[in-house]
Chain A
Amino acid sequence: MAFRQTPSQTVGPYFAYGLTPQQYGYDFASIATPVVADETVSGQRIRIVGRVFDGAGAPVNDAMIEIWQADGQGRYAAPGGASNAAFRGFGRCGTGTDPQNRYFFDTVKPGAVGDGQAPHVAVTVFMRGLLTHAYTRIYFSDEAEANAGDPVLASVPAERRDTLIAKREEGDSGIVYRFDIHMQGERETVFFDV
């Protein structure tokens, strides 16, 4: 009996009432939202925000972004990581509810996991026109020293590393990291074969 992988198919344009219902205003509870950490979770509070661009430079209004991250002390809330019950570390946001087609996550800045990697967030990208999801990572612009020693960043051609680094901005509403995703083009984001 052969057990071969079930093929991936696109999430399509109509995922919202199934996967991100609360964000889009449907009467169905979401299992994950753009709020990854509320005020009860300790750590440096940050917002990650960005847009997804297609190969013509147009913002994509029907993408869904998922993030998976460690907490402020570098712990994943999962078997295999030291458990942190108050923090699940998983978020979902579609790009269809913001007038500028931004996604955002309200979370805490992840700590280093302790295996030599710089603090980072794992990102999965889904959209109509993407038959198989794409994996990327978010690193942080104020972690230059840690980034310089990160083995995954080191495996990326130097001239493309910048596509993985979210830019820190400090505004009235707190710390914001900006991370745009370019599906194609000169600034095409680095996607990993995870």
Chain B
Amino acid sequence: MSTSPRDWSSHPPYVYPDYKSTVLRGPTRPLIPLKHTLSERTGPVYGHDSLGALDNDLTRNGRRNGEPLGERIVVTGRVTDEAGRPVRNTLVEVWQANAAGRYVHKVDQHDAPLDPNFLGGGRCVTDDEGRYRFYSIKPGAYPWGNHHNAWRPNHIHFSLLGPSIATRLVTQMYFPGDPLLDLDPIFQGTPEAARSRLISKFSIDVTEPSFALGYVFDIVLRGASATPMEV
């Protein structure tokens, strides 16, 4: 089965000058069309057996001597193709800052505290309905060097494989109502009509009483569109 093309009205351009690092890093020549071969119609498969016991619980997989600090959240959603069909048994990897806006990553020099009980990395696999689910701590906003007083909105990084290397997606999930979204060149680099797809929805139904706030983030991968794409 072949995969529908990348919808360039949905994805950010390679060079978006407000996001300064794109200027020297985004390819500038037109992409060469490639008719999919077996190499593009296949990809690695990582099922439930590739997961560790706590991989889907970031509130527990980095514990040393207690619980991580911050607001507990549960994030879930459906991964589908462009016809709304579930993408089953596909790997979803996530990573994020801690509640103070600090990444464990060694090059993150932001002067905010590390949390000894929080790693910030996790993964899960979609079920038969394409659903994934993980627990975490709501990530904090953090400053970055793109321009004066630049702050990234709260976000969780997502990486999805999908059925083939053509469906590969790396994206970021944002939170509703974040005032930093209007000022963030990474979010704003996304075509306007597509931006709202990156913002999760708060859900009282997903929220677990006395435990964690629920957010829903559905993800659509490329794939065998049943009808021609309409605008």
Residues of A at under 8 Å CB distance from B?
1, 3-19, 21, 24, 26-29, 31-32, 54-56, 58, 60, 62, 66, 68, 70, 76-81, 88-90, 96, 113, 115, 117, 120, 122, 124, 126-135, 137, 151-152, 155-156, 183-184, 188-194
Contact = CB atoms under 8 A, between A and B. Distances in A.
A151 B39 CA distance: 13
Contact of A8 (B12, B97, B123): B12
Given A14-B108, A17-B119, A7 B25 contact: no
Given A17-B105, A26-B104, A56-B24, A4 B220 contact: yes
B81 interface: yes
A15 to B, nearest CB: 6
Given A14-B103, A14-B108, A7 B11 contact: yes
B27 A68 contact: no
Nearest to A69: B39
B40 to A, nearest CB: 5
B198 A7 contact: yes
A9 B38 contact: no
Contacts of B107: 13-14, 62, 96
B29 A188 contact: yes
Given A11-B157, A15-B95, A184-B27, A132 B123 contact: no
Tell me what chain B mostly uses at the interface: helix, strand, loop, or mixed: loop
A7 B186 contact: no
A194 B194 CA distance: 21
Contact of B21 (A28, A29, A128, A135): A128
B45 A6 contact: no
B121 A28 contact: yes
Pick from B80, B106, B170 the residue with the most CB of A within 10 Å.
B170
A78 B186 contact: no
A12 B186 CA distance: 10
Contact of B37 (A18, A21, A152): A152
A130 B157 CA distance: 14
Contacts of B11: 5, 7-8, 131-132
A9 B190 contact: yes
Given A5-B10, A68-B39, A133-B170, A193 B24 contact: no
Contacts of A29: 52
B36 interface: yes
A68 B167 CA distance: 13
Q: Which 5 A-B pairs have the closest CB atoms?
A: A18-B95, A129-B21, A131-B12, A90-B44, A129-B25
B38 to A, nearest CB: 5
A26 B22 contact: no
B179 interface: no
B127 interface: no
B119 A26 contact: yes
A93 to B, nearest CB: 15
Contacts of A132: 6, 11-14
B197 A78 contact: no
Nearest to A24: B106
B7 interface: yes
B84 interface: yes
Given A8-B170, A129-B26, 6 more contacts: A9-B198, A15-B95, A56-B24, A129-B21, A190-B32, A193-B33
